[in-house]
């Protein structure tokens, strides 16, 4: 079975004349090349029109001697779906895609062996398998984001943006995978009944089962992503609770201090007459503030709101109990 990666008029005519099945794989062909293929491969004009530009969704269109199938594969580096337009007939299979796809490059490099049906099955199977690798990479990205969220004391919007990007990728992959699954499920008989094509419907059903598995994996990845988003929201909520708790502690500390300073700031006659020395000022004014602060800190520490260092706790205890040794 011959595998071609460029249009060779003489060789293609010889292969067609000998009725030898071949695979022609083209990356971003020019409009002139597509026009040449119409006459060289006897394609239907509507099929040629579909080959000129990406269709945008998985679809199969049947003609008299061939079918046009829009199928998607995934690039390994960017995890982006790339449309592959296939023309399948009893004498050849033509694949056209705008970007290189590693799974197809490996097939063209090492060659495809087997009968006609096995060749088509291998091509479609390679494209379907590329979805599994993409979902595995997305799972790794989700796990990495979860670890960053759990390990960061203050998760930021960067993790949230990455989660949203991953969610958009999964939504697009799921849309394509489900459409692709449905197209295969409804078009197995059309492909297997092409004139002169020796194919087993069981092979195409295997690709159909692969796309079902891909859809299930994508749904599982979406569940994991939802869990990661819940982890992020919980971390942000815990962070907010910690900030509110600290602000509440600060406000509670300053509340009695404000009362003490306000009380001693009043012009009562007794205070004006009796607080006339620095010792009295230190005892009633400064001592009242420090004593109130120490009592509040000990109450917060025993309630578990704050954790005082041992040295400060001992000093606070001694200030409350001067006779302790």
Query: Is residue 315 scored above 70 in pLDDT?
Result: no
Same domain, 53 and 101: yes
Same domain, 128 and 146: yes
Choose the final residue of a domain: 237, 265, 283: 237
Query: Is residue 47 scored above 60 in pLDDT?
Result: yes
Using one digit for the tens of pLDDT, what is the confidence trace for 59-92? Answer: 999 888 888 999 999 988 778 899 999 998 888 9
Same domain, 227 and 262: no
Q: What would the two tokens of residue 277 be? A: 């020395």
Same domain, 229 and 247: no
What ranges make up the beta strands (E) of 81-232? 81-89, 92-97
Same domain, 64 and 151: yes
Would you state the pLDDT for residue 235?
A: 78
Percent helix / strand / coil, the chain, rounded to 5? 65, 10, 20
Same domain, 45 and 34: yes
Any domain includes 176 = yes
Choose the final residue of a domain: 237, 261, 296: 237
Q: How many domains does the chain have?
A: 2
Using one digit for the tens of pLDDT, what is the confidence trace for 113-165? Answer: 777 778 888 899 999 999 998 888 888 888 888 888 777 766 677 888 888 88
Whether 229 contacts 161, CB under 8 Å: no
Would you state the pLDDT for residue 191?
A: 74
Would you state the pLDDT for residue 11?
A: 93
Same domain, 274 and 247: yes
253 band by pLDDT with thresholds 50, 70 and 90 = confident
Same domain, 230 and 264: no
Lowest mean pLDDT, pick from 217-231, 232-246, 303-317: 303-317
Report the alpha-carbon distance of residue 164 to residue 56 in Å, rounded. Answer: 23
Any domain includes 87 = yes
Would you state the pLDDT for residue 300?
A: 78
Task: For tokens 């594969």, name the residue.
Answer: 73
- Report the range out of 31-35, 230-234, 307-311 with the highest average pLDDT: 31-35
> What domain range includes position 275?
239-320
Any domain includes 45 = yes
Task: For tokens 């982006």, name the residue.
Answer: 80
Any domain includes 35 = yes
Nearest to 88 by CA among 131, 121, 126, 132: 121
Any domain includes 325 = no
Same domain, 174 and 215: yes
Would you state the pLDDT for residue 97?
A: 93
Same domain, 302 and 259: yes
Would you state the pLDDT for residue 70?
A: 93
Strands 59-62 and 66-74: antiparallel
Would you state the pLDDT for residue 195?
A: 66
**What CATH number is associated with residue 26?**
3.30.460.20
274 band by pLDDT with thresholds 50, 70 and 90 = low
Report the alpha-carbon distance of residue 281 to residue 275 in Å, rounded. Answer: 6
Any domain includes 24 = yes
Would you state the pLDDT for residue 319?
A: 47
Percent of the chain with pLDDT over 90: 20
Query: Is residue 238 scored above 60 in pLDDT?
Result: yes
Compute φ and ψ for 86, nearest 5 degrees.
-110, 135
Would you state the pLDDT for residue 94?
A: 94
Residue scoring higher pLDDT (153 or 314): 153
Same domain, 250 and 268: yes
Average pLDDT, the chain: 82
325 band by pLDDT with thresholds 50, 70 and 90 = very low
Query: Is residue 317 scored above 60 in pLDDT?
Result: no
- By three-state DSSP, how is residue 98 classified? coil
Lowest mean pLDDT, pick from 98-112, 208-222, 301-315: 301-315
Lowest mean pLDDT, pick from 3-17, 33-47, 55-69, 157-171: 157-171
Any domain includes 315 = yes
Residue 278 CA, distance from chain mean position: 69
Same domain, 51 and 15: yes
Choose the final residue of a domain: 195, 215, 237: 237
Query: Is residue 199 scored above 80 in pLDDT?
Result: no
Any domain includes 301 = yes
Over residues 302-319, mean pLDDT? 60
Lowest mean pLDDT, pick from 23-37, 49-63, 178-192: 178-192
Over residues 95-122, mean pLDDT? 85
Q: What is the pTM of this model?
A: 0.70
């Amino acid at each position: 079975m011959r595998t071609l990666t460029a249009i060779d008029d003489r060789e293609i005519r010889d292969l067609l004349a000998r009725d030898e099945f071949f695979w022609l794989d083209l990356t971003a062909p020019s409009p002139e090349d597509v026009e040449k293929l119409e006459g060289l491969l006897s394609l239907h004009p509507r099929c040629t029109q579909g080959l000129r530009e990406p269709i945008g969704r998985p679809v199969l269109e049947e003609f008299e001697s061939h079918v046009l199938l829009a199928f998607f594969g995934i690039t390994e580096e960017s995890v982006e779906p790339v449309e592959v337009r296939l023309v399948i007939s009893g004498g050849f299979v033509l694949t056209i895609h705008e970007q290189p796809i590693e799974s197809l490059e490996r097939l063209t490099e090492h060659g495809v062996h087997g009968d006609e049906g096995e060749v088509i099955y291998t091509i479609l199977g390679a494209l379907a398998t590329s979805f599994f690798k993409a979902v595995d990479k997305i799972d790794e990205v989700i796990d990495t984001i979860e670890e960053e969220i759990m390990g960061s004391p203050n998760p930021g919007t960067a993790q949230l943006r990455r989660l949203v990007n991953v969610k958009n990728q999964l939504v697009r992959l799921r849309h394509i995978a489900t459409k692709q699954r449905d197209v295969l499920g409804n078009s197995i008989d059309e492909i297997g009944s092409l004139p002169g094509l020796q194919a087993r419907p069981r092979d195409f059903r295997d690709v159909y089962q692969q796309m079902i598995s891909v859809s299930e994996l994508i749904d599982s990845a979406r569940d994991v992503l939802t869990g990661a988003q819940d982890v992020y929201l919980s971390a942000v909520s815990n962070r907010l609770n910690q900030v509110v708790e600290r602000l509440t502690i600060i406000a509670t500390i300053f509340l009695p201090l404000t009362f003490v300073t306000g009380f001693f700031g009043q012009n009562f006659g007794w205070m004006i007459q009796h607080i006339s020395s620095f010792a009295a000022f230190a005892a009633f004014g400064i001592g009242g503030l420090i004593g109130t602060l120490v009592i509040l800190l000990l109450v917060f520490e025993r309630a578990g709101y704050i954790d005082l260092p041992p040295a400060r706790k001992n000093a606070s205890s001694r200030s409350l109990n001067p006779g302790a040794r």
